[in-house]
Structure formats: structure tokens, C-alpha cells
Amino acid sequence: MSAQAGDEVRIPVSSPDEFQSVFIDIQFPEEFEFVRIEQDVSVEEFTGIENSEEGRYRYGSFGIDPISSENAYTVVLGASETVYGAVISANIVFNEQTTSTTLSISTGSGLIPEQFTLSQNFPNPFNPVTTLQFAMATAGEHSIIVFNLSGQAVQEISSGWKDAGSYSISWDARNHPSGVYFAKFLFDGEIKDMKKMILLK
């Protein structure tokens, strides 16, 4: 993703299902700093703990009764300088289960990517969760599919219609064996980019 100095980068975190606990782990380049977290859940129902350090923000929250919220949290980062092609890694866990969650990352300047790109996953090698970011220069149908060394598709981790912009997707590979995998980014059925990933357990 790209951002200009002074931009606020907003990372919404949501769950389609009810949840009693959430853990948010955001890692970001040195050109960014944590600004705040916005909550759309009642403080009376949930209590939380958080930790912010250079290049990383972590937040944990839990409650007695399950609640639901279409946009439970928004993590806001600030760009200290203009940056292009930055990778922000997001690991989101609801109810102690990591899910492949697509995050739409927006900036205050509303920059639209100039081309279709798939950033190298982070971390890499990984175990068992890794994050990729992809940029869409125009709106349309997309898909990100993971293949093994034999060329077999093992999992589609993101698909559907999306507006032009930058997005992040986490892949939980705990059900797959160690090895080399390839993530292919397709737009309207055409391969736009591909990245090699290494799963080490």
C-alpha cells in the first residue's frame, strides 16, 4: 500500500459471527506509528488489554456474553513520511480461532494503486499464519489462490468483487503440511502476480 506523510491509515476489523474474545496483532513498517483504536463494542460488556511498541500494535479483549458487530474495531496508524509499497501484517483471532480475514486498508489521501500487485507474504517463512497484501488498480472480480509445488490448488483465500484499493488477507495454513506454496493473484480470470511462500512447522 501507499500513503503520504500525515495520512491516517485505517484498518477495520470485523467478524460476521458473534464473539466473546478477540486478539489483534498488527505489524507495520517504521514509516508508520500507532495512533489509536476505535471500538464499536460496549466497554461495559468487554474489557481489553493493549500494547504498542515500534512497528507493532497488539490488542486483546474478552467478555462474558457473546456480542456481534459488523465493524467491531478500527486500528488507525499514522504515516510519518510518504511511503510506497508498504506491507502491513494483520493477524486477527476471534474466539481463539484464526480466520482468513480480508482487511480493507484505506488512507486519508485516498490514493488508488496504479497497478495490480501482490506483495510478498509476511512473515516468510511462517507457521502457521501469514499475511499478504494486494492492490487493485480498478474495481472487478478477483481471487487469490494458494497452490502447492505439484500445481494443485489447495485453498482460495480471497475472492469476489472489490473496489480499487489496497487490501490485506491472512492465510491460516495449520491444516496444510510444511512445504513451498505459491499464492496467485487473479483479476477477471487473468494472473496478475504470484508469490512464493514457505511454511515451516
pLDDT confidence of 196, banded at 50, 70, 90? very high
Residue type, 129: V
Q: Using an 8 Å Cβ cutoff, are 154 and 176 in contact?
A: yes
Q: Using an 8 Å Cβ cutoff, are 133 and 90 in contact?
A: no
Closest CA to 78 of 151, 18, 11: 11
Burial environment of residue 32 by CB neighbours within 10 A (0 to 12, 13 to 18, 19 or more): buried
The lowest-confidence range among 29-43, 118-132, 140-154, 158-172 is 29-43
Cell numbers for 6: 500525515
Distance CA 88, CA 168 (A): 8
pLDDT confidence of 43, banded at 50, 70, 90? very low
pLDDT digit string, tens, across residues 23-41 = 888 888 888 999 998 877 6
Calculate what percentage of the chain has a pLDDT beyond 70. 83
The verdict on pTM exceeding 0.85 is no
88 SS3 class: coil
CB neighbours of residue 127 within 10 Å = 13
Which domains are present in the chain? 8-98 (2.60.40.680), 117-199 (2.60.40.1930)
Contacts of 151 (CB under 8 A, 6+ apart): none
Q: Decide if pLDDT at 86 tops 80.
A: no
